[in-house]
């Protein structure tokens, strides 16, 4: 289970679902067992990126109302930047 598959070998869909579930359970256990400092840090980081995304999307929307919609490629790039959450844990 812990070893990667050789290149070119496809993973069974049932096995991939099981592995994702196990990984999610391990992450939940790590978060539960984390200390107060780590929990506070994670909470503040989550709220910071939520506020950042809200502010950026609001500014993009206001600009679009005032100046009109930009090209879709520019809009997609701006939304991708707004959705960026930094380096994942």
Mean pLDDT by 10 residues, the chain (89 residues): 69 85 92 90 94 96 95 94 80
Asked whether the beta carbons of 78 and 60 are under 8 A apart, the reply is: yes
pLDDT score of 11: 75
**Alpha carbon 36 to chain centroid, angstroms:** 23
Residue 61 to residue 67: CA distance in whole angstroms: 10
pLDDT score of 1: 55
pLDDT score of 88: 59
pLDDT score of 45: 94
């Amino acid at each position: 289970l812990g070893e990667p598959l050789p290149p070119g070998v496809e993973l069974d869909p049932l096995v991939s679902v099981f592995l994702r579930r196990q990984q999610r359970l391990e992450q939940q256990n790590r978060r539960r067992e984390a200390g107060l400092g780590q929990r506070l840090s994670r909470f503040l980081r989550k709220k910071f990126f939520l506020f950042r995304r809200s502010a950026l999307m609001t500014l993009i929307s206001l600009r679009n109302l005032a100046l009109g919609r930009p090209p879709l490629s520019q809009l997609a790039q701006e939304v991708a930047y707004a959705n960026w959450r930094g380096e994942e844990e």
